[in-house]
Chain A
Amino acid sequence: QQPVQSPQAVILREGEDAVINCSSSKALYSVHWYRQKHGEAPVFLMILLKGGEQKGHEKISASFNEKKQQSSLYLTASQLSYSGTYFCGTETTGNMLTFGGGTRLMVKP
């Protein structure tokens, strides 16, 4: 079953912060985050492991609440280059990811 992402879209000004949420109805081994720019392939950002471990990538970080089966992606001091569609991928069985519907992020000058 596909994880649910929210919001579906968000518009920011440069320097503003955003949070993208990903929620699953199944127990998860891990959560992966990818970013896809228009006309390009999804690119891996980070993996979140069981235990609430938080990972970071540039000014992008994320958390994973295993009990709630939820993950959140935090974008701080957003830059124009952060624009794109963000997908969470949830791992419930070995090496197979199910992707959410995506969150479209637009950062304006």
Chain B
Amino acid sequence: DAGVIQSPRHEVTEMGQEVTLRCKPISGHDYLFWYRQTMMRGLELLIYFNNNVPIDDSGMPEDRFSAKMPNASFSTLKIQPSEPRDSAVYFCASSFYPGHSPAYEQYFGPGTRLTVT
């Protein structure tokens, strides 16, 4: 298995531009998570999906952020317009949940390092 795939790996953009991050989860996984990691705030959950449906987006910082999962094998995280404070590493992770606790492990993608100048 190729694992979780993210693209691009690095993105440098100017303030005000639209940024789209992409993720392909592991086949068969029914949960997909988007995280943001910074030195100041650590690893934060932004949003997660179950069977392509957004379940909890309370971690999305503001309306500039949006996420979609049109099918089981693809998700996007979009920032429009981007700001310098959005600079961070964005991770996508996927897992299979048996339907009862405890949760199974999450498999993280390599991340996208976003720099907004």
Chain A residues proximal to chain B, CB less than 8 Å: 2, 29-30, 32, 40-44, 47, 49-50, 87, 89, 91, 94-102
Contacts and interface: CB of A to CB of B under 8 A. Distances in A.
Contact of B102 (A29, A42, A87): A29
A96 B105 contact: no
B34 interface: no
A71 B56 CA distance: 26
Contacts of B105: 32, 44, 47
Interface of B: 31, 42-45, 48, 50, 56, 91, 95, 97, 100-111
Contact of B45 (A32, A49, A87, A97): A97
A41 B42 CA distance: 13
B107 A40 contact: no
A91 B111 contact: no
Contacts of B50: 95
B42 to A, nearest CB: 5
A50 B100 CA distance: 13
17 contacts: A29-B101, A29-B102, A30-B102, A32-B103, A41-B110, A41-B111, A42-B43, A44-B106, A44-B107, A94-B101, A95-B95, A95-B97, A96-B56, A97-B45, A99-B43, A99-B45, A102-B43
Residues of A contacting B: mostly: strand
B106 to A, nearest CB: 7
A96 B48 contact: yes
